[in-house]
């Protein structure tokens, strides 16, 4: 098991963002899979049980908060850490995410590659 790469699922409706996550995180040895929306993302979370989920909030088919709530309501997926990565960058959104919903971290777009890697490392270190 120690030789297996940490698996990260990126639930994001923009294919370019999934590719960006993959490029940044693959350099650090992470295996990144993508899901182009909330419904597909939730299905993949349940099937593959990733080590971490990067979750966009604003998606057309199912918003990120709904995905998050369904993950946390399911005993098989509730312990998977979630980092919100979103363009919803108002401070109230961040407070709601971190303090009320208890997401593991919250990154605002645009972000730097270092900011993403540091967040992923910090959240995975808590596991």
Higher pLDDT, 122 or 93: 122
Residue 1 inside a domain? The answer is no
Residue 39 inside a domain? The answer is yes
State the DSSP string of the chain: -TTSPPEEEEE-S-HHHHHHHHHHHHTTT-EEEEESSHHHHHHHHHHH--SEEEE-S--SSS-HHHHHHHHHHSTTTTTS-EEEEES---HHHHHIIIIIS--SEEEESS--HHHHHHHHHHHHHT-
pLDDT(92) > 80? no
Residue 2 inside a domain? The answer is no
User: Model-level pTM greater than 0.85?
Assistant: yes
Residue 110 belongs to domain spanning:
7-125
CATH number at residue 84: 3.40.50.2300
* Banded model confidence at residue 106, pLDDT cuts 50, 70, 90: confident
Q: Are 32 and 51 in contact (CB under 8 A)?
A: no
For the chain, the domain total comes to 1
């Amino acid at each position: 098991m120690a030789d297996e790469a940490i698996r990260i699922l990126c639930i994001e409706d923009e294919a370019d963002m999934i590719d960006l996550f993959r490029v940044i995180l693959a350099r650090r040895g992470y295996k990144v899979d993508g899901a182009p929306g909330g419904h597909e993302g939730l299905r993949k979370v349940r099937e593959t049980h990733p080590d971490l989920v990067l979750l966009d909030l604003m998606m057309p088919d199912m918003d990120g908060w709904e995905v998050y709530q369904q993950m946390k309501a399911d005993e098989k997926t509730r312990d998977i850490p979630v980092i919100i990565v979103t363009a919803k960058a108002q401070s109230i959104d961040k407070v709601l995410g971190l303090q009320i919903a208890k997401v593991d971290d919250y990154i605002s777009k645009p972000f730097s590659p270092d900011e993403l890697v540091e967040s992923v490392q910090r959240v995975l270190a808590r596991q």
